[in-house]
Structure formats: C-alpha cells, structure tokens
Amino acid sequence: MNRRPLLFSAALLAAATLALTGCAGGDGGAGDEPAADGSLELVEPGKLTVCSEVPYPPFEMEDGEGGYTGFDLDLVAAIAEKLELEVSIQDVGFDGLQSGTTLIAGTCDFGASAMTITEERKANIDFADPYYDSLQSLLVKADSGIESIEDLEGKNVAVQQGTTGENYATENATGATLVQFPGDAEMWPALQAGQVVAILQDLPVNIEHEKADSDYTVVEEYNTDEQYGFAFPKGERTNLREAVNEALQELRDSGEYDTIYDKYFSAE
C-alpha cells in the first residue's frame, strides 16, 4: 500500500475541520453525481449517522471543541463529503457495536471504530472494504522488568472486552489474569494506577500512550494479519455500503487517503 503523502486537498481539509461538526456537504469529486438519500436508506435524510466508541486515539478522539477527530473519523468526513452528506457521530460502547446489536437497532448507518474484520463478526455484521492494517502490542511501565508476553504469568493484564486483543491475550498470555475493561479510556488509567501491569491492544493506541508518557513503553508487537472495516447491519444498507466502498476507493486513487493516513501515522 502506498502511504506516501501527496498534495493536500482543499476539499479534504474542509471535510476534516467542518464535517464532523455537521458542516460537511457541498460539491463532490469531479464528475460525481449527488447521493440519492432514499436509495442509501439513511437513519436521517441528508446525514451520515456513524457510531463509534470515543476515545480510542489516534482513531477516535474528541477535538476539544465539541466535535470529533481521529483517523477513522477524518476518513468518515471525507467519505461524507464525497456523498454530499453531513455527519453525525454517536458515541457508543464497543461491545454492542462489534456484536452487531447497536447496528441492527438502527442507531446509526454504520460503525467506524477501529473494528477488525473477523469471521465471527461477519456472522452478525456486513463490512465495507478494509481501510487499515493493524498489529497488536504490549504496553508496560518502562521499569516493570516485563520484556515479553512470556513475563505476564501471574500478573493482571488489561484487555478490552470483545476485541481481537482480548482473543490474542487469551490464546498467548499463558498464566496471566486478564482483566476486561469497556475500552482504552478505562485501561490506561488502570495501568497508571498499578491495577494492571500491562495493556494488550492495538499498536497505534499503545504508541499514543508511549508518546504521551515516557514512563511507559511498548515492549512487543504481534503481527495478527488484522484489517479494519466499517461495520454495517447484517443484510441492510447494501447501497450505502457500496457507496462507501466507491468513495473510499476514490480517496485512495486521489491520494486523499494517504494525506489522512500520514497525519496520524507517519514517522516524525
């Protein structure tokens, strides 16, 4: 995948700063036809309603001004601009989202929450095309003496309930006591307070903590061949899923995807 930045798009910048606060819209890409709201079966006409668990940096974050930002949500804003729709972000629990119950309840049009595409989830969820490749990782206090997953025996390790990180820890953290949390917003304080000795979760999120506090470090990365996808209610909103796939491909072809990617993941 080519992830080198190309020229910034004025349209993307407008989407990233305005769309998440309900200001997306305007012209689509050159030659694009306006989205037909009726055919997309939107929760609310003219608006793309997206469910996400916030915070989960760098994928989902509050922007400090009452709106939301992050890799996933900036990508959603750019997609919404392509579809000539406004954006509404609904903050929901991840477990209900990944199980499909939140989606089938009609709370939102789709979910964007750093969700790994798995066969188990496909039983209850339809996924759009993959948009991000991820790794798992182990975050510990730098002076803990823990150097690998093999050092976790007899220790409390934080995992997020219902995630692939929890699955990996269950299969590989032999002898560790896995402590389930609703999300990163609860795991990170637990590590800082000494309630757990490690967090096993997606690498980019642990890297954000490492950057924020040098007392903590990522000691291992695990290649689990994971890809993220936007999640749709099973058997519903097929037209919208196809429209999202088309918009995502246009963003890749134009280089706008690379611009958003490099904003969050390029090495300094």
Closest CA to 130 of 26, 245, 11: 245
Closest CA to 6 of 247, 248, 253: 253
**Percent of the residues in the chain that have a pLDDT greater than 70, as a whole number:** 85
Q: Residue 137 pairs with which residues in a beta bridge?
A: 201, 221
Q: Measured between alpha carbons, how far is residue 167 from residues 116, 147, 151, 153, 189 in Å?
A: 12, 20, 18, 17, 22
Write the pLDDT tens digit of every residue in 98-109: 999 999 999 999
What HEC string does 68-114 produce? EECHHHHHHHHHHHHCCCEEEEEECCHHHHHHCHHHHCCCCCEECCC
Closest CA to 42 of 83, 96, 102: 83
Cβ neighbors of 218 (< 8 A, separation 6 or more) are 137, 138, 139, 203, 206, 207, 210
Q: For residues 53 and 224, give the distance between their C-alpha atoms in angstroms, rounded to a whole number.
A: 22
Instruction: Give yes or no for residue 150 having a pLDDT over 90.
Output: yes
Over residues 245-259, mean pLDDT? 98
Cβ neighbors of 243 (< 8 A, separation 6 or more) are 35, 40, 83
What is residue 91's predicted lDDT score, i.e. its pLDDT?
Answer: 96
Cβ neighbors of 229 (< 8 A, separation 6 or more) are 115, 116, 117, 127, 128, 129, 130, 131
Identify the band that residue 266 occupies on the pLDDT scale cut at 50, 70 and 90: confident
Instruction: Give yes or no for residue 240 having a pLDDT over 50.
Output: yes
Q: For residues 137 and 48, give the distance between their C-alpha atoms in angstroms, rounded to a whole number.
A: 33
Over residues 167-177, mean pLDDT? 97
**Percent of the residues in the chain that have a pLDDT greater than 90, as a whole number:** 83
Write the pLDDT tens digit of every residue in 14-68: 444 434 444 343 343 433 444 456 689 899 999 999 999 999 999 999 999 989 9
125-127, strands of its sheet edge to edge: 86-91, 47-52, 110-111, 231-233, 125-127
What is residue 8's predicted lDDT score, i.e. its pLDDT?
Answer: 32
Instruction: Give yes or no for residue 262 having a pLDDT over 50.
Output: yes
Domains in the chain, CATH or no CATH each: 10-131+229-265 (3.40.190.10), 135-225 (3.40.190.10)
What is residue 30's predicted lDDT score, i.e. its pLDDT?
Answer: 38
| Amino acid sitting at position 18 | L
On whether the CB atoms of residues 244 and 237 are closer than 8 A, the answer is no
